[in-house]
Amino acid sequence: MAGCLDGKVLIVTGAGRGIGREMALLGAREGAKVVVNDLGATVDGEGAATQQPAEEVVELIRKAGGKAVANFESVAEPKSAENIVKAAIDNFGRVDAVINNAGILRDRIFHRMSFQDFDQVIKVHLYGAFLVSRAAANYFKEQESGSFVHFTSTSGLVGNFGQANYAAAKLGIVGLSKSIALDMARFNVRSNCVSPFAWSRMIGTIPTDTPEQKARVAKIQKMTPDKIAPLAIFLASDLAKDVTGQILASRMHEIFLFNQNRPIRSVHSGDGWTPQKIAEIALPAMKSHFTPNERSADVFSWDPT
C-alpha cells in the first residue's frame, strides 16, 4: 500500500528526539525521504551540542529501508537555515514539506525573565520557523506545491505561567503561518499549525514539587510523542490538499480545531467616546464577553482520552 508521502521529500527540524523524532520516523514509513535536522542541544539551548540524536534517527530510517540524511544546523540563523533546505536539494533533488518543530525552553516568571531568555526563545521558535520556511519558499513557488507545518502551543493560544517568551513565540508562529497561507495560496502552497499535547524533554521541565503537580505530570506522561505524528504527517501530505491557514491540536486520541481571533461584540456611540463614557457604557456591554484569564490546564481540564 502506498504511503501518503510517497515520492516526497520532508524536512523535520528538531527531529532527533521527542515529537520531531516520531514525525521523521512516521514520515519515512509513509514513503518520504527525510532530512533529519537537529542541533543536538540541551532543552535550554545552552549545553554542548551532539550529533548523536539525529544520526540515530537516520540509522533507524535506513535500517527500515527508508532514505534519510542528518543535518546539524541551527534554525535560528539565516545561512544555517538555508543549509537545512539545501541538504534536501543536494541529497534528494527537491523539497515538498517542512515541519518546523525545533525549539528550546527558558521558563521564568515574567519579572525575572532576562532579555537573553526572551531573545533566545524567540530566535529558535519564531525566527527559526520564518527562516527555514523562507529558505524553502522559493522552491515551493517554482514547483507550485508544498506544505508548511508549524508547531504552536496552548501556552500562546490559551496561556501559561512563566512562559512569556515561549508564548509570544508560539502565538507569533500562528500569525506567520496565516500570512504564509495567504501569500502563497496562489502557488498551491499550504501552511498550518499544530499544537501538541505530549510528554517530551521540554515538557519534562514542569515542576513536580506538589501532589497536584505530580498528578498533572502523570497525566501528561500518558500522552506520548507518537500520538502527535499522524496529524503533522497528514498536514504535510496531499491528503490535506484542501487544508490551509488552520490551527489544529492533538491530545492522545483527540484532535481539536482551534478558532481564530474575530470580533465578538461591538458597541457604538454616535457622538464618539470619552474614557468616562467607555467605562459607563462600553465596558458593561462587553464585560460578559471577556475571555477568562486562564491557563492551558484550566481549559483542558479533563484527562487525556
Q: Which residues pair with 71 in a beta bridge?
A: 37
How many whole angstroms separate alpha carbon 264 and alpha carbon 177?
A: 23
Residue 106 identity (one-letter amino acid): R
The CB-side HSE value for 304 (13 A sphere, CA atoms) comes to 23
Q: 33-37 and 97-100 as β-strands: parallel, antiparallel, unpaired?
A: unpaired
Q: Are 213 and 206 in contact (CB under 8 A)?
A: yes
39 grid coordinates: 542541533
Q: What grid cell was written down for 219?
A: 497525566
Active site residues: 166
User: Cα-Cα-Cα-Cα dihedral of 207, 211, 214, 216, to 10°?
Assistant: -100
Nearest 5 degrees, angle CA 13-CA 106-CA 50? 45
